[in-house]
A = this chain, B = another copy of it.
Amino acid sequence: MIPVLEIFGPTVQGEGAVIGRKTMFVRTAGCDYRCSWCDSAFTWDGSAKDDIRKMTPEDIYEELREVGGDTFDHVTISGGNPALLPSLAGLLDLFKEKGIVSALETQGSKFQSWFHDIDELTISPKPPSSGMDTDFDKLADIIERTAGQQVSLKVVVFNKEDLTYAKKVHQLFPGIPFYVQVGNDRLDEIDDEKLLVYLAGRYEWLINLVMPDPEFKSVRVLPQLHTFVWGNKKGV
């Protein structure tokens, strides 16, 4: 059984390698990390405990169709850390059977053999500002095991120390498509326009740091597009 917190969409993927892609979202419960700025803390801090539903792959697929109808061919699995769940194997089999393209993001703390069934795998190791420590051996192991697949690395950056960390990750795995994403440190802002102007400014700040740096060449710098449109609202 898969512990599910949200099923919503279709909407645009707001981040990373397939930014803008029309997708449905399945958000699983549980995380082995406790990032200081986690924008999905309800997946692990107990606050949404009563909303967790234990679902079979068939349940999930049925609900995806109920919510999204015939409008989609792509599903993003996010968390929390979905890599904690061996039971996702069955869901990915079902997606394959139904012709659904799958995407998944995880921080790279744990490998599952079903990683091989993900069409677009994003590994997003967490920088110092998160308060978490990266297990670089584990990360290298995951990168190695998923060689030949469509994998990208994404580091969220809140400050210069995070950018130094991002560079380290990029240099360790120069062959993997690399994304830096500007962090949202205004999770409590409820004025969408104010947040938009603020985050566009933060995006420019990050661009201005990365552009003159010869050690970042083959790199993509992106914001979170969904926060540009819907602010801090969930489930859109």
Binding site for B on A (CB under 8 A): 9-12, 18-22, 69-74, 101, 179, 193, 196-197, 200, 203-204, 207, 210-214, 216-223, 225, 228-230
User: In whole angstroms, what is the CA distance A71 to B212 when docked?
Assistant: 6
Give the secondary structure class of A's interface: mixed
By a CB distance below 8 angstroms, the chain B residues around A212 are: 10, 71
Chain B residues closer than 8 Å to A228, beta-carbon distance: 200, 203, 223, 228
The answer to whether A10 and B211 have CB atoms under 8 Å apart is: yes
Q: Using known A-B contacts A20-B220, A22-B221, A217-B22, determine if residue A196 contacts B200 with beta carbons closer than 8 Å.
A: yes
Which among A9, A73, A207, A222 has the highest number of chain B CB atoms within 10 Å?
Answer: A207
Closest 7 CB pairs of A and B: A20-B220, A20-B222, A73-B217, A70-B214, A10-B211, A204-B229, A71-B214
How many copies of this chain? 2
Partner of A207, one of B12, B69, B72, B210: B12
Cα separation A70 to B196 with both chains bound (whole Å): 33
Residue ID in chain B nearest A226 by CB atoms: B207
Point out the residues of chain B lying under 8 angstroms from A179, CB to CB. Answer: 20
A22 and B69 within 8 A (CB): no
- Chain B residues, Cβ within 8 Å of A211: 9-12, 22, 71
Taking CB atoms, residues of chain B closer than 8 Å to A200 are: 196, 228-229
Q: Which residue of B lies closest to A210 (CB)?
A: B22
B contact residues around A220 at 8 Å (CB): 12, 18-22
- 25 A-B residue pairings within 8 Å (CB atoms): A9-B211, A10-B211, A10-B212, A11-B207, A11-B211, A12-B207, A12-B220, A19-B222, A20-B221, A21-B219, A21-B220, A71-B211, A71-B214, A71-B216, A71-B217, A73-B218, A74-B218, A193-B197, A196-B196, A200-B229, A203-B225, A203-B228, A203-B229, A204-B230, A223-B228
List chain B residues, Cβ under 8 A from A222. 19-20, 225
- The CA of A22 and the CA of B213, in the complex, are separated in Å by 11
Residues of B within 8 A of A217 (CB): 22, 71-74
